[in-house]
């Protein structure tokens, strides 16, 4: 009874003066200090009204990107690529336009994504096609642009201040900063660093498992129509440079409709059907299986008394399990790693668990061992140019077709009797079979096939459930990239 009274008293006290308790609790302090930091930031970014009225932003920029663990060679320095980018957002109309043009990893791209309320389109200027988006999502699509544009983060803070907590004070670049949190509509929380003197945003961070920590730096502020924007921006992933952005132009509160219209000289195509969500086993030639789901697939080849697995993308344990339903008693004695990229060595521990020997090239051995559960005990067979499995009935060749624009060494699997080629990352093979103009990587693959005089009939890959034919490859090679007219930003 007595306890109840005490509670009632403190509750009424709270109602009278919620923010002036002598003993400020930790959560209350976190909310109050965040509020102070947000108010000072709003002032520094042109005032409450200017940020509330900041409805549209259009920015043209130059990106430099680094292909961390995705370069032609294993280990740093990572390949550096360039791209031109244009992004425009209009909050009231829920419209977002993002365009990218550039090349990297042996792929050229020139395309855009447009979201207009409930509608959306994916445009490829390279292929000359427009594809309606099945589920346009303004918040998810515009998120990356908002996260690199300081005034738009401040606008988020203004609208979502209830989500914000003060985390503490830290020195950054020799200057004291307040760190507060922001929870956007989509994605993990951001920690924002505001300079205590200028009240401008210097840095933000978020943790993205399994990638690790993403660190955003806002530098070189300039004022545009009364609102400070950073002229340059740097993004680090686990302390390694990942993207540098150099802004070429910034326009605010101007209509963006012209950029958000779909050009009428493009071919309208339907989106490719989504790949299977559950692991599927396709025996597309006797004793040759393509097993996978989503965007990752491996090929399993039945030999006389064992199985050879090719490919090391995500989900190898489930793929082995699915294979076991069909091929019950033969052990997987070999696992072939196509190349060293971090999404292609994930299967190493699964093959090690099977007791299999892993095939790779000398240059990739360190990366492959590092991916194992136990680096030292991993059984490795190095492939020099070509390694042949032959049990008298079936021949399976593992061939290094490098160098390619994607990697210096690339192992493909070749079944001469069946005319089957398994490759990774060199032949995009959409589920609907609609070929795109051949990428530089695809041209190199075709060249290698010709040089080695491989009589290829079927092509399967690490990222598609579709069994392609040699005609598909020929079709891709015959298509030339088109430069469709586009509304220039
Ligand atoms: Zn790759």
Instruction: Looking at 251-330, list the stretches that DSSP marks H as alpha helix, in order from N- to C-terminal side.
Output: 316-324
Share of the chain above pLDDT 90, in %: 89
Give the mean model confidence (pLDDT) for residues 476-487.
79
Give the mean model confidence (pLDDT) for residues 274-287.
97
Q: How far is the CA of 106 from the centre of ligand 1 (A)?
A: 10
Q: How far is the CA of 339 from the centre of ligand 1 (A)?
A: 7
Calculate the average pLDDT of the chain: 93
The 10s digit of each residue's pLDDT in 192-219 is 999 999 999 999 999 987 678 999 999 9
Q: How far is the CA of 368 from the centre of ligand 1 (A)?
A: 14
| Distance separating alpha carbons of residues 286 and 301, to the nearest angstrom | 9
Give the mean model confidence (pLDDT) for residues 16-32.
72
pLDDT at 3 over 90: no
Q: How far is the CA of 107 from the centre of ligand 1 (A)?
A: 11
| Distance separating alpha carbons of residues 199 and 45, to the nearest angstrom | 8
Q: How far is the CA of 338 from the centre of ligand 1 (A)?
A: 9
Asked whether the beta carbons of 214 and 235 are under 8 A apart, the reply is yes
pLDDT at 426: 98
Give the mean model confidence (pLDDT) for residues 68-81.
94
pLDDT at 295 over 70: yes
Q: How far is the CA of 436 from the centre of ligand 1 (A)?
A: 19
Q: Which candidate, 240, 320, 283, 272, places its Cα nearest to that of 79?
A: 240
pLDDT at 9: 36
pLDDT at 5 over 50: no
**Sheet of 357-360, strands arranged across:** 280-285, 288-293, 296-302, 307-310, 332-336, 357-360, 380-382
DSSP string across 451-481? HTT----EEEETT-S--EEHHHHHHHHH---
CA 112 to chain centroid, in Å, comes to 16
Q: How far is the CA of 425 from the centre of ligand 1 (A)?
A: 5
Q: How far is the CA of 71 from the centre of ligand 1 (A)?
A: 8
The 10s digit of each residue's pLDDT in 138-160 is 999 999 999 999 999 999 999 99
- Give bridge partners of residue 396 from the DSSP assignment: 389
Q: How far is the CA of 292 from the centre of ligand 1 (A)?
A: 18
Whether this model's pTM surpasses 0.75? yes
Give the mean model confidence (pLDDT) for residues 127-137.
95
Asked whether the beta carbons of 213 and 235 are under 8 A apart, the reply is no
Q: How far is the CA of 404 from the centre of ligand 1 (A)?
A: 11
pLDDT at 8: 36
pLDDT at 300 over 90: yes
The 10s digit of each residue's pLDDT in 231-258 is 999 999 989 999 999 999 999 999 999 9
Give the mean model confidence (pLDDT) for residues 280-285.
98
| Distance separating alpha carbons of residues 234 and 354, to the nearest angstrom | 43
pLDDT at 114 over 80: yes
pLDDT at 484 over 80: no
pLDDT at 24: 78
Q: How far is the CA of 13 from the centre of ligand 1 (A)?
A: 63
Give the mean model confidence (pLDDT) for residues 426-452.
97
Q: How far is the CA of 344 from the centre of ligand 1 (A)?
A: 7
- φ, ψ at 286 (rounded to 5°): -60, 120
Long-range CB pairs of 374-378 (<8 Å, 24+ gap) are 377/352, 378/348, 378/352
Q: How far is the CA of 264 from the centre of ligand 1 (A)?
A: 35
Q: How far is the CA of 318 from the centre of ligand 1 (A)?
A: 21
Confidence of residue 486 (pLDDT cuts 50, 70, 90): low
pLDDT at 21: 52
Give the mean model confidence (pLDDT) for residues 440-466.
98
pLDDT at 420 over 90: yes
Share of the chain above pLDDT 70, in %: 93
- φ, ψ at 30 (rounded to 5°): -65, -40
Element (H, E) at 236: strand 227-237
pLDDT at 182 over 50: yes
pLDDT at 346 over 70: yes
- φ, ψ at 374 (rounded to 5°): -135, 105
Confidence of residue 278 (pLDDT cuts 50, 70, 90): very high
Domains recognised in the chain with CATH numbers? 15-268 (2.50.20.10), 280-478 (3.60.15.10)
Confidence of residue 61 (pLDDT cuts 50, 70, 90): very high
Q: How far is the CA of 42 from the centre of ligand 1 (A)?
A: 44
Query: In sequence order, what are the residues at sequence separation of 6 or more whose Cβ sits closer than 8 angstroms to the Cβ of residue 353?
Result: 317, 373
Query: In sequence order, what are the residues at sequence separation of 6 or more whose Cβ sits closer than 8 angstroms to the Cβ of residue 201?
Result: 41, 150, 153, 154, 192, 193, 194, 195, 218, 230
Q: How far is the CA of 310 from the centre of ligand 1 (A)?
A: 14
Confidence of residue 20 (pLDDT cuts 50, 70, 90): low
């Amino acid at each position: 009874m007595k306890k109840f009274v005490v509670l009632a008293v403190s509750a009424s006290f709270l109602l009278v003066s919620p923010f002036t308790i002598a003993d400020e609790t930790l959560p209350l302090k976190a909310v109050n200090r965040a509020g102070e930091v947000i108010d000072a930031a709003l002032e520094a970014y042109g005032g409450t009204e200017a940020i509330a009225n900041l409805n549209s932003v259009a920015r043209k920029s130059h990106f430099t990107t680094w292909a961390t663990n995705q370069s032609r060679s294993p280990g740093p320095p990572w390949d550096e690529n360039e791209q031109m980018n244009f992004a425009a957002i209009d909050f009231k109309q829920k419209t977002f336009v993002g365009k990218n043009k550039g090349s990297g990893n042996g792929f050229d791209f020139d395309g855009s994504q447009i979201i207009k309320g409930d509608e959306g389109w994916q445009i490829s200027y390279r292929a000359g096609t427009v594809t309606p988006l099945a589920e346009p999502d303004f918040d998810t699509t515009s998120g990356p642009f908002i996260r690199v544009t300081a005034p738009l983060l401040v606008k988020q803070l203004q609208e979502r201040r209830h989500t914000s907590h003060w985390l503490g004070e830290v020195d950054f670049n020799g200057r004291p900063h307040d760190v507060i949190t922001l929870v956007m509509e989509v994605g993990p929380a951001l920690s924002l660093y505001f300079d205590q003197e200028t009240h401008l945003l210097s840095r933000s961070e978020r943790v993205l498992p399994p990638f690790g920590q993403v660190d955003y730096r806002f530098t070189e502020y300039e004022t545009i129509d009364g609102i400070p924007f950073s002229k340059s921006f740097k993004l680090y992933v686990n302390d390694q440079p990942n993207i540098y952005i150099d802004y070429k132009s910034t326009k605010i509160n101007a209509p963006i409709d012209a950029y958000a219209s779909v050009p009428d000289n493009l071919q309208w195509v339907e989106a490719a059907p989504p790949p299977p969500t559950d692991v599927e086993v396709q025996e597309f030639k006797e004793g040759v299986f393509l097993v996978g789901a989503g965007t990752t697939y491996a090929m399993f080849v039945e030999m006389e008394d064992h199985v050879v697995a090719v490919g090391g993308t995500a989900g190898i344990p489930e793929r082995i399990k699915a294979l076991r339903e069909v091929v019950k008693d033969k052990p997987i004695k070999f696992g072939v790693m196509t190349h060293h990229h971090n999404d292609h060595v994930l299967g190493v521990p699964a093959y090690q668990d099977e007791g299999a020997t892993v095939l790779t090239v000398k240059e990739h051995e360190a990366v492959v061992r590092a991916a194992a559960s136990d680096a030292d005990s991993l059984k490795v067979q190095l492939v020099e140019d070509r390694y042949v499995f032959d049990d008298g009935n079936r021949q399976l060749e593992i061939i290094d077709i490098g160098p390619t624009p994607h990697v210096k060494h690339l192992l493909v699997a070749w079944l001469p009797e069946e005319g089957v080629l398994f490759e990774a990352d060199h032949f995009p093979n959409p589920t609907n079979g609609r070929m795109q103009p051949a990428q530089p990587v695809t041209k190199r693959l075709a060249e290698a096939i010709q040089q080695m005089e491989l009589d290829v009939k079927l092509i399967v890959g690490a990222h598609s459930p579709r069994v392609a034919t040699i005609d598909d490859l020929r079709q891709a090679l015959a298509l030339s990239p088109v430069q469709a007219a586009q509304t220039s930003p």
